[in-house]
């Protein structure tokens, strides 16, 4: 066979041992917080039926699904004309969906909804789960955007209590405190956005209005007003919106101002205000120190979020949202389980990784997975070293021996390149005296230590 | 949209929280042993270029690859005739390989070889890595055989030292000791099998001879001899093989007997005998207590193994091999890096899981992921409970509160179904006295405990 130059598909990555150690640190930190809050792990298959995935992510999402070709004769039962038509078309989607009945997981939310509905009779509600798995999207790869990447989701379904929202805020606080990343959490509520639209007489234009509010920072008030007029808002509506666009001050001040504006004009809007108020009250009473800011321009996921909307940004590093989520009242309806409200948040593992790297926040130990290298002198010394090594490992210490009696320089280089802190020497004299020489590679310090104390000296 | 009845592709699985807890126990146990032996984690992408995978697993393996349909216009550049021809053929493999340039990982070995070659200039050799990831095979699903399953591999490349084989034996011993599964490790060596074939004058028929030896237990000596004759072995060769088939006794006795038979007739055979002897000597000197048995009928992976071959079976549970591996001298050659010997072993996670389940060896704690449920009485009591809950979590204990002030029976049922051991009550009187009532659900015992001692009482 010809020799192949090895490569991997664009937009995918290998994770080297060093990267894996960092990723494990990140995931372990997140998981340990999730667990303390009573969330339990779940995993779903990488492949879902294409019918489970199609139509759940909008037209654009459908295009980004990776489809898995049916095994065996994938053209069976498909007539030549159909194939011909597809070959002549520019975008043979229909044929694609005929020859593929499975697709790769696009996110963790839809598989989770599918799981909840499929297992509704075995599950105990409220069901609190976390899920950390890769997802795949046929997006154009670019810096920081991959075709295979991990999502890290935590959700509760089957409870409308706002305590769940509060718990998610606490989880955000604890995860980033543990990672030593300073963050701000922005909160909004879809009901308030709807209430504003209803108040100014354009309940049908919530999306347009929200998009315009979102642009305020970038393009200024006048341009926003112009855009709103362009989207069909009456001059009165644009004028009525003005005080909302200009809201400022503390969360409480903003809430008071919107309450005054909405008044009795939108019951939904007042419900949203009440929800945010309750969440903030709880957070305050529980001593949440994470900066939580009500931001009416926060408009992620308006297609599915029905209540709270969250977004988290790092304070000390330029990076988009590193965490986001919200409440969805009808996640499971499409699979036949209505009225099952849920709320969840997703941690952007790749972005958080980049922030940790950028701010140099990975603990140095994550690189040092092996504590000691036992030097291999061959012969009886080798056997002595191997026996001592077994003791050290039994004591729970990660250690290894160079597998051959190679030159000292080679063994030393190996230890150094592997970030191994200690070298342990069991030479002829040492073996006779049942002591080992333990050398700290970084400081150069070396000590003679009785065999039975070597394990402790390496901790 | 119409309601869909949710399901998952055949041969795939969801892992529920209980299953995840057990799987985590299994993987964490294995990983902690790997780490103590100096192995480092690696992960490769789920999708590889199809060219990386094709031709690596034999004709049968090629058929079992899951292929990923190219995004966008997958028929672009493929002319109508080609499509037509495929539609008329019974097995449109060629078209399949044209419209798919990626495939799902089929095992962890080929991606590992690809990784090593691709990163040869950055890696430090010997390179010791472990890798625990799912693989996909379009096999016919059946009991215990899945289309998505985890492999759990540990390999060293870049060292010919037999110490690596010894370390793998120690790892097997420690993993199964930690899991409390009694196992036997069978060892063989491809060089001995070749040596036997060479000795009886049929170096070309090693595979046939090995397959025949493998059947000895099932069909008996006479039938094996008949089969060997049918495969073209001369009567003299069959007669010469007889003493080898009838080998018995300890490992040392078997080695002595084969040495006598092979004599000077096969240098390769003697090399294999020497390798096994060295490995057994080391194991003995290092006090390996795992039963290691030389088994000349062990013939897995003869297409790629060049030295040691390993297989592990459970002693107390009927199950095929739960772990297997060996040495391969030319894993990376196909990707352009010759002369890089490696040795590795793979733990069959699904089978080991089934053995643990069958022998009831999962620790009871794996099911109890949450330690305490705080009962929700609403109002001021709720806030008191929430504050105490925060303290308890800060102390590292997994605990939760029922998110609504539901009826006691509902909250109790929830705790019981979730396998939560303790319920914590902070009612009106308790809040005033700053004590909580902590009840053990299993024993029914309950105690009144000051707030500041609650965390400790839940450990």
Low-confidence residues in chain B, pLDDT < 50: none
Is A109 labeled as ligand-binding? Answer: yes
Q: How close A291 gets to chain B, by Cα (Å)?
A: 18
Span A317-341, pLDDT tens digits = 999 999 999 999 988 998 999 999 9
Let me know: does A144 contact B56? Beta carbons within 8 Å. no
Residues of B in contact with A83 (CB under 8 A): 83-84, 86-87
The more confident residue out of A216 and A428 is: A428
Token duo for residue A54: 């199609």
Residues of B in contact with A287 (CB under 8 A): 387, 390
Tell me how far CA of residue A280 lies from CA of A170, A273, A341, B65, in angstroms.
12, 11, 20, 52
pLDDT at site B2: 59
Select from B55, B91, B383 the Cβ nearest to the Cβ of A1. B55
Q: Do A403 and B164 touch (CB under 8 A)?
A: yes
Span A202-234, pLDDT tens digits = 898 888 888 887 787 788 888 888 888 888 888
Select from A21, A52, A124 the Cβ nearest to the Cβ of B417. A124
A290 touches chain B (CB under 8 A): no
Q: What share of chain B is helix, strand, coil (3-state, %, to 5)?
A: 45, 20, 35
Let me know: does B327 contact B343? Beta carbons within 8 Å. yes
Select from A40, A285, A403 the Cβ nearest to the Cβ of B159. A403
Q: Do A336 and B86 touch (CB under 8 A)?
A: no
8-state DSSP, A43 = B
State the Rg of chain A over Cα: 29
pLDDT at site A3: 66
Starting at the edge strand found earlier in the chain, the sheet holding B399-401 runs: B399-401, B372-374, B422-425, B435-440, B446-450
Looking at chain A from residue 177 to 206, which residues have their Cβ under 8 Å from any Cβ of chain B? Answer: none
Token duo for residue B266: 């096969």
Neighbours of A234 (CB within 10 A): 13
B458 touches chain A (CB under 8 A): no
8-state DSSP, A329 = S
Let me know: does B45 contact A14? Beta carbons within 8 Å. yes
Span A431-445, pLDDT tens digits = 999 999 999 999 999
pLDDT at site A2: 60
B141 touches chain A (CB under 8 A): no
A154 touches chain B (CB under 8 A): no
Q: Average pLDDT for residues A152-178, to the nearest whole number?
A: 97
Span A119-142, pLDDT tens digits = 999 999 999 999 999 999 999 998
pLDDT at position A420 over 80:
yes
Exposure string (b/e) for B134-157, b if CB count within 10 Å is 16 or more? bbbbbeeeeeeebbbbbbbbbbbb
CA angle B52, B54, B57 (to 5 degrees): 110
Q: Do B370 and A69 touch (CB under 8 A)?
A: no
Q: Which domains does chain B have, with CATH numbers?
A: 17-45+106-358 (3.30.930.10), 368-458 (3.40.50.800)
Let me know: does B132 contact B150? Beta carbons within 8 Å. yes
Which of these, A330, A311, A351, A329, lies nearest to A151 by C-alpha position?
A: A351
Looking at chain B from residue 317 to 336, which residues have their Cβ under 8 Å from any Cβ of chain A? Answer: 333-336
Token duo for residue B440: 């053990």
A contact test, residue of B45, B340, B414, B417 with most A CBs within 10 A: B45
Residues of A in contact with B52 (CB under 8 A): 4, 6-8
B contact test, residue of A10, A48, A69 with most B CBs within 10 A: A69
Q: Look up tokens 């963050």; give the residue.
A: A183
pLDDT at site A304: 86
Q: Average pLDDT for residues A36-41, to the nearest whole number?
A: 96
State the Rg of chain B over Cα: 29
Q: How close B321 gets to chain A, by Cα (Å)?
A: 25
Q: How far apart are CA B241 and CA B216, in angstroms?
A: 12
pLDDT at site A46: 98
A410 touches chain B (CB under 8 A): no
pLDDT at position A1 over 80:
no
Q: How far apart are CA A355 and CA A316, in angstroms?
A: 9
How far apart, in Å, do the first and last CA atoms of chain A sit? 49
Q: How far apart are CA A278 and CA A289, in angstroms?
A: 17
CA atoms within 13 A on the CB side of B149: 23
Chain B: residue whose CA lies nearest to A55: B1
Q: Do B369 and A285 touch (CB under 8 A)?
A: no
B406 touches chain A (CB under 8 A): no
A390 touches chain B (CB under 8 A): yes
8-state DSSP, A183 = E
Q: How far apart are CA B42 and CA A13, in angstroms?
A: 11
Span A326-384, pLDDT tens digits = 999 988 998 999 999 999 999 999 999 999 999 999 998 887 789 999 999 999 999 99
Q: How far apart are CA B125 and CA B19, in angstroms?
A: 37
Span A63-120, pLDDT tens digits = 999 999 999 889 888 887 888 788 788 778 889 999 999 999 999 999 999 999 999 9
Q: What is the ipTM of this complex?
A: 0.94
Q: How far is CA A268 from the centre of its chain?
A: 31
Q: How far apart are CA A7 and CA A30, in angstroms?
A: 32
Span A267-320, pLDDT tens digits = 999 999 999 999 999 999 999 999 999 998 888 888 889 999 999 999 999 999
In residues, how long is chain A? 459
Q: What share of chain A is helix, strand, coil (3-state, %, to 5)?
A: 45, 20, 35
pLDDT at site A300: 81
A130 touches chain B (CB under 8 A): no
SS3 (DSSP) at A229: helix
Pairing of strands A435-440, A446-450: antiparallel
């Amino acid at each position: 066979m010809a020799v192949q130059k090895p490569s991997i598909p664009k937009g995918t990555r290998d994770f080297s041992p060093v990267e894996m150690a960092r990723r494990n640190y990140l995931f372990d930190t997140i998981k340990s917080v999730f667990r303390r809050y009573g969330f339990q792990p779940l995993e779903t298959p990488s492949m879902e039926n294409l019918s489970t995935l199609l139509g759940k992510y909008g037209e654009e999402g459908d295009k980004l699904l990776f489809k898995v070709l049916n095994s065996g004769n994938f053209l069976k039962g498909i007539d030549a004309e159909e194939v011909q038509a597809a070959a002549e078309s520019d975008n043979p989607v229909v044929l694609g969906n005929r020859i593929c009945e499975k697709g790769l997981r696009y996110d963790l939310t839809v598989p989770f909804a599918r799981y909840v509905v499929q297992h509704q009779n075995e599950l105990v509600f409220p069901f609190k789960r976390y899920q950390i798995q890769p997802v795949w999207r046929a997006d154009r790869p670019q810096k920081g955007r991959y075709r295979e990447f991990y999502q890290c989701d935590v959700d509760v379904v089957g409870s409308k209590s706002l305590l769940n929202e509060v718990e998610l805020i606490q989880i955000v606080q604890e995860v980033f405190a543990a990672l030593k990343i300073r963050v701000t959490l922005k909160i909004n509520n879809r009901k308030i956005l709807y209430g504003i639209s209803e108040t100014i007489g354009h309940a049908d234009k919530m999306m347009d209005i929200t998009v315009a509010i979102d642009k305020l920072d970038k393009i200024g008030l006048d341009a926003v007003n112009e855009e709103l007029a362009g989207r069909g808002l009456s001059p009165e509506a644009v004028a009525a919106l003005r005080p909302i666009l200009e809201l400022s001050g503390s969360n409480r001040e903003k809430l008071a101002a919107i309450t005054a504006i909405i008044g009795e004009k939108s019951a939904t809007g007042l419900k949203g205000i009440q929800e945010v108020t309750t969440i903030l009250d709880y957070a305050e009473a529980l001593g949440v120190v994470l900066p939580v800011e009500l931001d009416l321009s926060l408009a992620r996921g308006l297609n599915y979020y029905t209540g709270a909307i969250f977004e988290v940004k790092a304070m000390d590093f330029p990076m988009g949202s590193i965490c986001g989520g919200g409440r969805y009242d009808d996640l499971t309806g499409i699979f036949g389980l209505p009225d099952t409200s849920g709320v969840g948040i997703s941690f952007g593992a790749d972005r958080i990784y980049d922030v940790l790297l950028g701010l140099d926040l990975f603990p140095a130990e994550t690189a040092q997975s092996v504590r000691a290298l036992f030097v291999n002198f061959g012969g009886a010394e080798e056997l002595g070293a191997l026996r001592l090594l077994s003791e050290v490992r039994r004591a729970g210490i990660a250690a290894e021996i160079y597998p051959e009696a190679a030159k000292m320089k080679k063994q030393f280089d190996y230890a150094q390149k592997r970030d191994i802190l200690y070298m342990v020497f069991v030479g002829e004299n040492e073996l006779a005296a049942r002591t080992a020489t333990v050398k700290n590679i970084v400081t150069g310090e070396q000590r003679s230590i009785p065999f039975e104390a070597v394990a402790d000296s390496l901790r």
